[in-house]
Amino acid sequence: MESIRNRRTIRKYKQQNISDELLNKILETSCRASTMGGLQLYSVIVTRSAEMKEKLSPLHFNQPMVKNAPVVLTFCADYNRTSVWCRNRKATPGYDNFESFFNAAIDALLVAQNFCTIAEEKGLGICYLGTTTYTPQQIIDVLNLPKLVYPVATITVGYPDEMPNQPDRLPLEAIIHNETYKQYSAEDIDRYYSYKESLEENKHFVEINNTETLAQIFTDIRYKKEDNEAASRAMLDALKNQGFID
């Protein structure tokens, strides 16, 4: 619990490799996560080569972690392996649908989070790349993912070469609801977001971006409606190409 409590995202790594032994031990233990029907509906693509990092880098908007980390992991929802098993065992798989995609995505994400927790406990640092959902088809092409395999998370990992501050979190009462969901009043929002809005670094963001509020940074600059809509189309197209939706 201390390891999770004190964690921070690490974006700068030492020029030190991670042994196969350590990486495999962490991955193997990560697979103890709950999984639907014990089927383990995921695969993990391990990227170590400079050539593959070069190809993946632009798909993650050239964030420097992709090239600088010794290891990049792409966690994929995978119903392909299970389907091959079924076909080889006189069973007819019925997993070319959205429900199956989502169940496999859940399986993959639980393992990805386990990986992060264990890696950090072992002294490694990770960065979770949110870019994977924006460029799925290009990642599919580069990693040669067959039908019924879809990338849901990318994690860079290495030995930390920085010690950044921990980012802020909303107070817990902003997150939990007792018995049923309670809609947020204006006063709730003020109370829950005041700390975040008061932070010097966030005030600085607002200043250098010339916005009036911190929220506008998110709506007008970082996660814009038109970008989200374009990414939605890209996701749905890629899910179709991978055989998960019609």
b/e sequence 73-112, b meaning 16+ C-beta within 10 Å: bbbbbbbbbbbeeeeeeeeeeebbeeebbebbbbbbbbbb
Q: Which residues ranging from 163 to 182 are in contact with a copy of itself (CB under 8 A)?
A: 166-170, 172, 174-181
242 counts as binding a copy of itself under rule CB under 8 A = no
Q: What are phi and psi of 127, to 5 degrees?
A: -130, 125
Q: Nearest approach, Cβ of 246 to a copy of itself (angstroms)?
A: 9
In three-state secondary structure terms, 94 is coil
Q: Is 229 exposed, middle or buried (0-12, 13-18, 19+ CB in 10 A)?
A: exposed
Near a copy of itself by CB under 8 A: residue from 63, 138, 231, 241: 231
Q: Which is nearer to a copy of itself, 16 or 37 (CB)?
A: 37
Q: Which residues ranging from 110 to 139 are in contact with a copy of itself (CB under 8 A)?
A: 110, 112-114, 116-118, 121-122, 126-128, 130, 133-134
40 counts as binding a copy of itself under rule CB under 8 A = yes
Near a copy of itself by CB under 8 A: residue from 186, 207, 208, 210: 186
Provide the token pair at 219. Answer: 């709506």
Near a copy of itself by CB under 8 A: residue from 18, 139, 145, 148: 145
Q: Nearest approach, Cβ of 95 to a copy of itself (angstroms)?
A: 7
Looking at the DSSP bridge assignments, the partners of residue 43 are 76
Contacts of 45 (CB under 8 A, 6+ apart): 73, 74, 76, 143, 145, 151
Near a copy of itself by CB under 8 A: residue from 14, 123, 189, 240: 189
Q: Nearest approach, Cβ of 62 to a copy of itself (angstroms)?
A: 18
Near a copy of itself by CB under 8 A: residue from 22, 27, 57, 63: 27
Terminus-to-terminus CA distance in the chain, angstroms? 43
The secondary element (H helix, E strand) that includes residue 237 is helix 225-241
Q: What is the DSSP letter of 222?
A: I
Near a copy of itself by CB under 8 A: residue from 62, 98, 194, 195: 98
Q: Which is nearer to a copy of itself, 58 or 167 (CB)?
A: 167
215 counts as binding a copy of itself under rule CB under 8 A = yes
**Contact characters 2-21, a copy of itself, x per CB under 8 A:** --xx-x-x------------
Q: Nearest approach, Cβ of 197 to a copy of itself (angstroms)?
A: 8
Asked if residues 63 and 210 have their Cβ atoms less than 8 Å apart, the reply is: no
Q: Which residues ranging from 46 to 75 are in contact with a copy of itself (CB under 8 A)?
A: 46-49, 52
Provide the token pair at 69. Answer: 């980390």
Asked if residues 111 and 31 have their Cβ atoms less than 8 Å apart, the reply is: yes
93 counts as binding a copy of itself under rule CB under 8 A = yes
